[in-house]
Amino acid sequence: MKGPLSAPGDYIYFKSQVPLHKIPIGTKQWRYYDFGPKVVSPLICIPGTAGTADVYYKQIMSLSMKGYRVISVDIPRVWNHHEWIQAFEKFLDAIDVHHIHLYGTSLGGFLAQLFAQHRPRRVRSLILSNSFLDTCSFSAAMPWAPVVSWTPSFLLKRYVLTGIRDGPHEPFIADSVDFVVSQVETLSREDLASRLTLTVDAATVGPLLLSDSFITIMDTNDYCAIPQQLKDQLGERYPEARRAYLKSGGDFPFLSRPDEVNLHLQLHLRRVGVEARPDLIHGISRGGSGASPSEENDKGEDPDDPPKDDGEVTKDPSTDSQLHPAPESSESHSLDDQLLSNARVCHFVNENMLVPFLPHLWEILFLYLLPLNLGALYITLSYSWKFRQLV
């Protein structure tokens, strides 16, 4: 895993511009990003077992600049699928959102289907990536599932990370793996235990009232942690769904192939009738606020004020803003180089300050230590003289 100074430059920029919301709803703590014009029906991104709300930062940056509203959430600590459906519905009510479009990867895609099955009036469309229909195969592969809630954190993290393919990767795929690994390290034992419980808890997606024409299945053709048999079952369940194939991308194409993923997401949203509002992003300021004037008045804050607490805010979930333009692809490394260069400068600033004093270092030490040595010598001789007089 890379160190903190190796974080992608566009992610550092994203964290500086987009506030992280944390709101308690009942006994659940929701952590999410919400960016884009509020008048647009939102695309809600649900991560897999190893993901957090941060893993979709490339989709938030790109689609919000095109006039779409994107919400990325963490899976809260729920311990069964019924609890997930109720908690997610309360979250939508809390942020005043009714009709939604769901984009889920792996476990997130499974949870999105369950919600669409039990709350069909709220879900307008689905995008499923490397997902599945039931949990039977995962339950069979994890015989210690009954004690997962008591398992130490390091064992849970090791189990989750072993599901990520290890070996030589293309550079962008390797970067995506490193980023997700860094996100896994931020998850608590309870978070990991909850997600693994949802993965192995016996459940199957039933028939959906949603038409196949409002479903897009987006899979990678190289490899992923979800067995091909399970992905084939998903395709058979929705035979008329639109198919989007990515030649490569691994387990996390939203990070490794963001341009392709963002294009397919945009095409899906257009096809299902979501009208983007790029006219509402013209007022973007350098502080990262591009909300409409009425939204800025609702905030009651100076849009140029920097985000507090490292980008984390606990506030009214209806608050929103827009993103200042930034590079969308990780292929551009100018921002990374600049940030890493600044970090190196900060790291070596103390050493550079010593350079002018190096030629005179011995003189400084001599002048500083000489009075101390003379004082010690005087005291020693004085006591020696007094001792001789006594003798």
Residue 308: both structure tokens together: 């507090």
CB 263 within 8 A of CB 237: no
- As a whole number, mean pLDDT of residues 97-121 equals 97
Instruction: Give the pLDDT band of residue 294 (cuts 50, 70, 90).
Output: very low
The structural domains of the chain, ordered by start, are: 9-276 (3.40.50.1820)
Return the pLDDT at 193: 97
Please classify residue 289 by burial: count the beta carbons closer than 10 Å to its beta carbon, then call 0-12 exposed, 13-18 middle and 19+ buried: buried
What pLDDT score was predicted for residue 77? 96
Q: Answer whether residue 296 shows pLDDT above 60.
A: no
Are the CB atoms for 108 and 48 separated by under 8 Å? yes
**What is residue 8's predicted lDDT score, i.e. its pLDDT?**
85
pLDDT value for 370:
52
How confident is the prediction for the chain on average, in pLDDT? 80
- Which residues are registered as beta bridge partners of 216? 127, 242
* Tokens describing residue 301: 């804050």
Q: Identify each DSSP E strand in 67-147 by its residue range.
A: 70-73, 100-105, 123-129
CB 255 within 8 A of CB 183: no
Percent of all residues in the chain with a pLDDT value above 90, rounded to a whole number? 63
The whole-angstrom separation of Cα 312 and Cα 115 is 28
Helix/strand/coil for 35? strand
The whole-angstrom separation of Cα 199 and Cα 49 is 8
Within its chain, how far is the Cα of 207 from the centroid?
31
**Lowest-confidence region among 49-53, 341-345, 370-374:** 341-345
Is a pLDDT exceeding 80 seen at residue 382? no
At 166 the pLDDT is 75
35 pairs with which residues across the strands? 70
pLDDT of 336 above 90 = no
The confidence score (pLDDT) of residue 375 equals: 54
Tell me, what's the pLDDT at 301? 39
Asked whether the predicted pLDDT for residue 267 surpasses 70, the reply is: yes
Q: What is the pLDDT of residue 380?
A: 59
Are 241 and 215 in contact, with CB atoms under 8 Å apart? yes
Nearest Cα residue to 250 out of 169, 144, 369, 133: 169
Q: How many CB atoms are located within 10 Å of the residue 333 CB?
A: 13
pLDDT of 373: 56
**The residue count for the chain:** 391
Q: Give the pLDDT mean for 313-322.
A: 46
What DSSP state is assigned to residue 167?
S
* Secondary structure element (H or E) that encloses residue 181, with its range: helix 171-184
Would you state the structure tokens that stand for residue 92, as one six-digit string? 């939508």
Mean per-residue pLDDT, 356-360: 41
pLDDT band at 79 (very low <50, low <70, confident <90, very high): very high
CA distance 284 to 303: 10
Name residue, tokens 């949870």: 111
Residue 66 has pLDDT above 60, yes or no: yes
User: 223: pLDDT confidence band, cut at 50, 70 and 90?
Assistant: confident
Given a contact cutoff of 8 angstroms between Cβ atoms, the answer to whether 244 and 216 are in contact is yes
d(CA 248, CA 322): 31
In angstroms, the CA 291 to CA 273 distance is 23
State the pLDDT confidence band at 271, using cuts at 50, 70 and 90. very high
* Residue 322 in this model has a pLDDT that exceeds 80: no
Amino acid at 226: I
pLDDT at 376: 56
CA distances to 4, 112, 286 from 160, in Å:
21, 21, 39
Is residue 24 within 8 A of residue 56, CB to CB? The reply is: no
For tokens 């230590």, what's the residue?
369
Is 169:177 a contact under the CB 8 Å cutoff? Answer: yes
Q: Which two tokens stand for residue 96?
A: 């005043």
The upper half-sphere exposure of residue 149, i.e. CA atoms within 13 Å in the direction of its Cβ, equals 9
